[in-house]
Amino acid sequence: MTLEMSLSTVNKYIQINSAMKREDLKVPQPDIKDVAHLGVTTFLNSIPGLAGVGELFKFIVSPSLDKRKDKWMETVKDALIELESRPGFKQEDLQNEEFITLLIQASQIAVKTHLDSKRIFLKRALVGSFIEELNFNISSEYLNTIDRLQPVHISLLKIFTNIESMTQFGEKGKYLNYMMEHMPENIEISFVESFILDLQQLGLITNEFITYTTEGALLGEPYYTHVLSNYGHKFLTFLMLNKEQ
């Protein structure tokens, strides 16, 4: 249902009379059943020994899924209103195959998460891609990155953004302590290192080999720290994360 609803939202906005007031706009309601959800329920009920599990799945998942879809539809509506307020914007501009593909991709990500913050990032990605006329491959990659990031990753990226110079630490212990002190989540250091590895694999940060000397004397053992990559800087700027505290 989510994909149909997202496309329906766009199509109905295109048909809106330009004289209609924004406060009169309503999020379109679904017209058909959620076939994907129904398919899962039917599949579970068809497995021997799991009779009734499908109904249990429906009982547990349906309320949350409906809430997520409703929140996403409101988010899509807000994104379209924001686009509509841009000078020179035409509703017909939304009839763009690349934009529709990105909208579908974002919708699939949106229903997988309970996080309002991730829906906000998805909205920024959709609006930003349209306004900046980004290459489709870059826009899609931004969405893929959003999909893989959790709040702890965002916290780490903001920490790297706020570090003016790695030379302020002097040794690895101070560097790791700084990371722990500025993490809003209560996470063990071993897991922090794992999350940092995630960011490396996504290409958002890169290694920087640090040695500190004063008049030729080594102040501590050399070690690797991490800095934002070029992609990391562009990603943060695109989502306006570098402007958040």
What is the tens place of the pLDDT at every residue in 72-82?
999 999 998 89
- pLDDT bucket at 47, cuts 50 / 70 / 90: low
> In the chain, which residues fall in CATH 1.10.10.10?
151-243
- Which of 1.10.10.10, 2.30.30.100, 1.20.1090.10, 3.40.50.1970 would CATH assign to domain 151-243? 1.10.10.10
d(CA 245, CA 116): 17
CA distance 161 to 236: 9
Q: Can you name the residues that pair with 223 across neighbouring β-strands?
A: 210
What pLDDT shows up at residue 202? 94
Separation between Cα atoms, residue 180 and residue 183, nearest integer Å: 5
pLDDT at 136 over 90: yes
Residue 146 host element (H or E): helix 136-148
pLDDT tens for each residue of 14-30: 454 344 444 554 554 54
pLDDT digits (tens, 9 = 90+) for 172-185: 667 777 777 777 76
Specify the 3-state DSSP secondary structure of 94.
Answer: helix
Distances (CA, A) of 174 to 182, 184, 198, 218: 12, 18, 22, 16
For the chain, percent of residues with pLDDT exceeding 70: 60
pLDDT for the residue 14: 47
